Structure 1
Amino acid sequence: MSSRLKFLAPLALTLSLAAAWAQTPPAPGAPKRFPQITLEQIAPEGQALAQEILKISSVGLAGPYNIMFRSPVFADRMKRLLDYLRFNTSLPPRLNEFAILIQGQAWKSQVEWYAHYPLALKAGLPQHVADDLKTGVRPRDMAPDEEVVYEVSTELMRTHELSDATFQKAKRVLNDQQLVDLVAVSGTYVTVAMLLALGQEMPPEGKPMPFPAR
């Protein structure tokens, strides 16, 4: 790749991410695609799962859980995967939440950003890194491990592969399991963003949407 193309590729990614439409709410007066499920509506075999979700979810049974419960077996399997990726992954929480925000920004996912922005800051991600990311620019002054998470995630999104140079750079910072877990959390939160888009799920009523709706 020429030096000019190397310069233009990150710029093209920035512009494409910044230009992407934000996930939008239903039209005024339109019913929700998936009416909000309540604890009372969940079958007895799903009650334990629902109670677990209520203990950890910043949106209760709303957001992706409202969609997931339409497929109960999937909801159970997905919750177990999310438990690993959120609480037992080999990645430090700061990097894990950064990876989630990268997907939230790429998808302009209102709920993902609303839920994970405060979690990322609490985990130690510098606010300017998250705020730069939200605007669609490469964050300034990233730590070396944050830079690796950003470059691996965005390169995979942009080119659908990972160059030897980026892989070797990543291996100097992350071990094998951490690289696998980085890809796993990134792909899983693409699924979450798609579920949220399917149901036009939004942050709780009265809360601002992180991204301007189209």
Structure 2
Amino acid sequence: MHDATALPRYRDLDQAELDAEQRAIFEEIGRPRAGAVPAPFHLYVESPDLARSAQAVGAFCRYRTGLPPRLSELAILTTAAYWGADYEFGVHAREARKAGVPEAEIEALADGRRPDFADDDAALVHDFASAVYRHKDVPDALFAKAVARFGRRTVIELTGLLGYYSMLAIALRVFRVPPPA
């Protein structure tokens, strides 16, 4: 008897197998990425409306929040580590390095440890995200500190980023997407 949790579920989509609506969103997602479509979207394209909506939210969360890329990538890595989403962690570890997240912080997150942060902003973003995952809430003092530092709008955007990347991480886990090569 096979262990039901060991069966593969993920597959790269073959564009030739897509219907017109699926192909259109697949191409739309790949256009700004030189044709490369990230693994989560190989899943979501099977539901074109979900793919289109997720792509729009993802573009905002990744590129247009009030957080600088370094802090966004740190929040994404914290999320990926929480969910054990190896694909997401691998992809965003590369992006985090490019954005200036120190290697020691990336390694600590990969090992499930709280990093010794180089700056207070990174510690604040990590502690905020960790509180969300650990307590399903953020203590008043931590919330007030985040709002005082980043502003309410950016805290709302950070919260949205955590939700979006959690959504991706859940899909990556459920469909057992392997880590990037």
TM > 0.5 between the two?
yes
What's the CA shift string for 1:14-55, capped at 9, x where partnerless?
xxxxxxxxxxxx84xx5x424421222222233343223324
* Residue correspondence of structure 1 range 126-145 to structure 2 within 5 A: 126-145=102-121
Deviation string for 1:97-143 (max 9, x for gaps)? 11110011111111101111010110111111111111111111331
From the superposition, tell whether residues 79 and 116 of structure 1 become closer, same or farther in structure 2 (CA, over 3 Å): same
Which residue among 117, 122, 126 is the counterpart of 2:98?
A: 122
The question of whether the paired residues in 2 share the 8 Å contact of 1:63 and 1:203 is answered with no
Map of 1:8 onto structure 2: none
Structure 1 moving runs of 4+ over 3 Å: 55-62
Amino acid at match of 1:125: V
1:144–1:173 CA contact under 8 A, matched in 2: no
1:74 aligns with 2:68: no
Report if aligned partners of 1:91, 1:178 keep a CA contact under 8 Å in 2.
yes
Question: After superposition, where does 1:10-159 map in structure 2 within 5 Å?
Answer: 27=6, 32-55=8-31, 60-61=36-37, 63-159=39-135
Q: 1:164 to 1:34 in 2, by over 3 A?
A: closer
- How far did 1:91 drift? 1.3
- Give the TM-score taking structure 1 as reference length: 0.75
State the structure with more CA Rg. 1
SS in 2 for 1:173: helix
Deviations 1:189-211 (A, max 9, x none): 1110111112111134xx2xxxx
Aligned-partner Cα distance in 1 for 2:139–2:155: 14
Give the conservation status (yes or no) of the 8 Å contact 1:102–1:153. yes
Between the aligned residues of both structures, percent identity stands at: 27
SS of corresponding position for 1:82: helix
CA contact (8 A) 2:9 2:175 kept: yes
Tell me if the contact between 1:59 and 1:203 (Cα under 8 Å) persists in the aligned partners: no
Shift of 1:171: 2.1
Which residue, 157, 168, 180 being the options, matches 2:144? 168
Is 2:151 the partner of 1:195? Answer: no
Structure 1: runs of 5 or more not aligned: 1-25, 208-214
Counterpart CA distance in 2 for 1:176 and 1:97 is 20
From 147, 155, 159, the counterpart of 1:183 = 159
Higher relative contact order (CA 8 A, sep 6+): 1
Alignment length, in residue pairs? 177
Letter of the 2:118 partner, please give it.
Answer: M
Provide closer, same or farther for how the CA distance between residues 59 and 149 of structure 1 changes in structure 2, counting only shifts above 3 A: farther
